[in-house]
Every structure is written in structure tokens, then in C-alpha cells.
Amino acid sequence: MSTPRFHKPRRGILLGIGVGLVLGVSISFAVTVYAARDQDKIPLEQIQTFSQVFEIVKSNYVDPTSDKKLMDGAINGMVSALDPHSAYLTPKEFKEMQVLTNGKFGGLGIEVTGDHGVLKVVAPIDGTPAAKAGIESGDLIVKIDGKLLQGVSLQKTVDMMRGKPGTQVTLTILRPHQAQPLHFTLTRAIIKVQSVRAAMLAPGIGYIRISQFQENTGSATRKAVEHLEQEANGHLNGLILDLRNNPGGVLGAGVETAGTFLNKGLIVYTKGRTANSDMRFSAHGPDYLHGAPMIVLINGGSASAAEIVTGALKDEHRALVMGQRSFGKGSVQTVMPLSNGGALKLTTALYYTPAGCSIQSQGIVPNIKVQPANAQLRTLDADLLKESELHGVLKAPDECSKVTPQYTIALPIPATAATQSTKEDEAMAASSVLKPDPAKDYPLREALAILEGKAVPVQGKGHTVDTVIPLPKAVGQ
């Protein structure tokens, strides 16, 4: 898609992690006139205070300051105080966001969010400079080209990382449980991500990796399933859908992808304050996999549209979900153009899975939890960034907060357990250019074994039992 599309408000939905997009994402915008409400409830006292502060700053601040700078700062402060994902976009920033809808620009291929003056990595994108350099989910970016980021806005930090393809940028990163800062020098590149890749893992067992949800991801997923079925001579008996480190993307693409594997049923619904914020998205078939069993792999870097797909396939009992609890980004941002050429990106609703569970700040709980075998590595795993840890995060209803995994599988203890996490190896395997290797990717290996009907080591109370985990049976095939 080379140009942005403008729709009615109910379709003006953005599923990124925040303003901090240093990768290609397609966006829809809402174009409408928003009438002032509650005219009789204008907070006159607060407006008077604001006017007083404005005049004091204008007259007494050490350097002369323009009205525009003060007003933009005031609007920014008002909107950013709401939650981590709402933002005021200046005309320049809004124009840049529209340019990003074609998914092609000079950048690093990394999804970030801001919190307390720190830039946090949600996930690197497959095949991009960030993924190739070894940037990981949960990394904290504290300097860009030697400049400390404390007090720098999220949009400004994103601008600092973008630039002309072929130029370099140096990131200083703090990584949990690493004593010293890490320094990465990356070369900016045109970020044109192939979001869907596929391969055969074993006779009759296919693998599809989705790195993010772009405008064409749904159709690309269907083509990938058809291609795998041809490779399997019409006998595709199972599929692993890898959504690890997938930061999200376009809502419609997520809905299409979930619908690729469902004959019917609810995929996701939203609830907000206004009537046009309430939406329902359902599957209408056909199931391109013809009911063959599925396993979805997720981790803490799986967010937004990836969580929508995972939640639908789990709640409709279409797939087993395996890995770690997902990121928990379950809010809807609507982009509303303003008369000055800028825009307001405002959280207008929350997402709910078919079972009525809110994704927001809770994430998707896997059926099969994969966790490090020892306490030290479990602590490192728990330290990875989650939506619930962001400053000002929206809290969702907790009806499903007590959901727990049905099974737990322990990752093998690496030889250098004190300094290296097997989960890091797993994340690297998931975010590399697609060459799925079950021998090196433990969760992938165990998922393959489950699809093949083999026993896997399931943790019990103080012991491990080799268990054949039953696969869900597709309904309505």
C-alpha cells in the first residue's frame, strides 16, 4: 500500500505499540469533526490557572519562548498524561506517520516505547539492522549517538534513529542482568519487511513465521498455507504459527490471519465510551488448514495484533498456545486529524478475546508455559518488559487475571547459566532470517514433538513427567 487510507471513525485503528515506530506499519486514520461535549462543564478554574502559568512563563522564563512552543508543549503534556499510547502529533509528525504507511523508509527495524525517560525495546523485526545486530526485547536504550535520552520525547528519539539509508547510528543499551552498557553501531536501511515466511519442518508439519502484521499479511498467510500443502502433497497434518517477537501492526491483517484458520466464530471485539468504538470481528471460513492441529508460539515480545490472533485461536479451541505470557497491549488508538494539519492519536477502546478476556496489561496466557529451569533465569525472564509496567498504563477489568497455563515445560539449563539465558537463544532464533532449526530452538522442537504426538517433559510438583499433550480438535470441520 503506497498511500494512507482515510476511513470513518470506526475503522480508524492503529495497532502499533506506540508512537515509537522505527519500522514499516500500515495505518488507518479517522476523518471526522468531533463536536465539543459537556459545554456546561468547562473547568473555568483550571483554565484560569493555565492562563496564569502561560503568562508567567511567557514573561519570566530565562529565554524568550514562542507561543507555539508553549501551546504544543501544553497539548503534549495533556495527552501523554493519559496513557503510554495516546499522543499529539504536530503537522510534521503526522505527515511522517502517513509516509510510514508504505512501510519503506530509512530506519533500524525496531519497535520501542517510552517510559520514565527511558526508551524500551518491545521487539526487533526479522531481517532488519536491529535484529541482525542482536537487539533484544526488553533492552533499554539510554543514549543515541552519545546523547542521553533523559527528558527527550518519544517522537524525538524515533526521529534520531531514522535517517538516510547507509548512514550509521550508535545505540547505548542497558540489558537486564548485564553489568556493563552495551554499544551497537547500526547502519540504517530501507525497512521493507517480508512479514510472512514459511517452511516444512518435518513430513506433513509446516511452519509459518509472521514478523509483523502489514496490510497484505492475511493474504500472504493464506498463500503460505497453500504452498505448504502443495509441498506436503496435499497432506499438511499440522502447523506451527510463530508469533514470537511480533509487535503487532494492522488490525485488519490480524483479523484476516485468524480467519485463515477458522470456519466460524468470534475473533475479537472492542469496547469503548462511544458507540462507534464498539466493534465485533468474526470468522466466516473456510479454514485453509482443514482442521489440522496447530500450535502458536508466543513470548513477551508478542503484542497487539499478534495477541488478537493468539487469543482468537486459543479461545476458539483451534490451537494450543505455547511460550511465555504475551506483552499485553490491548488498546485501540484512533488517529484524528486536526484543523492545524496535525493529529491526535487517542486511545478510544480496549480489545477483548472471544472468551471475554481483556488483552490490555494482561496479555495472553499460554496453554503450555515454557520457562527457564533454574530460579536465576526465571528472574531474568520475569524482568522482560510488559505493558503492565509502563507508566500510566490503562488497567483493564481482571475477570481473566487468574487464568494459568495447563502445562509447564522447562527450558534446558545452558552450560553458562550464570551469564546466558536459553530464552535469549530462543528469541534470537525467532528473530533471525527464517531458517527454522528445531535442534537449536527448544520451544520449536517441543512444539514439533507435540504435533507429532510424542511425549514432552512436563513439570509437576518437584518432578518431571513425560506427557503426551492432547491437541485441540477444530470445531465445525
| Residue 106 DSSP symbol | E
> Of 411, 357, 424, 417, whose CA–CA distance to 384 is shortest?
424
> Of 291, 238, 272, 448, whose CA–CA distance to 352 is shortest?
272
Distances, alpha carbon 141 to alpha carbons 158, 161, 167, 389, 469, in Å: 11, 11, 19, 16, 40
Question: Are 217 and 196 spatial neighbours (Cβ–Cβ below 8 Å)?
Answer: yes
Question: Are 305 and 251 spatial neighbours (Cβ–Cβ below 8 Å)?
Answer: yes
Question: Are 193 and 213 spatial neighbours (Cβ–Cβ below 8 Å)?
Answer: no
Distances, alpha carbon 6 to alpha carbons 28, 91, 270, 332, in Å: 6, 17, 20, 17
Round to whole Å and give the CA distance between 276 and 32. Answer: 12
The residues that are catalytic are 304, 315, 329
In this structure, are strands 28-30 and 5-7 parallel, antiparallel, or unpaired? parallel
Round to whole Å and give the CA distance between 171 and 258. Answer: 36
Residue type, 432: S
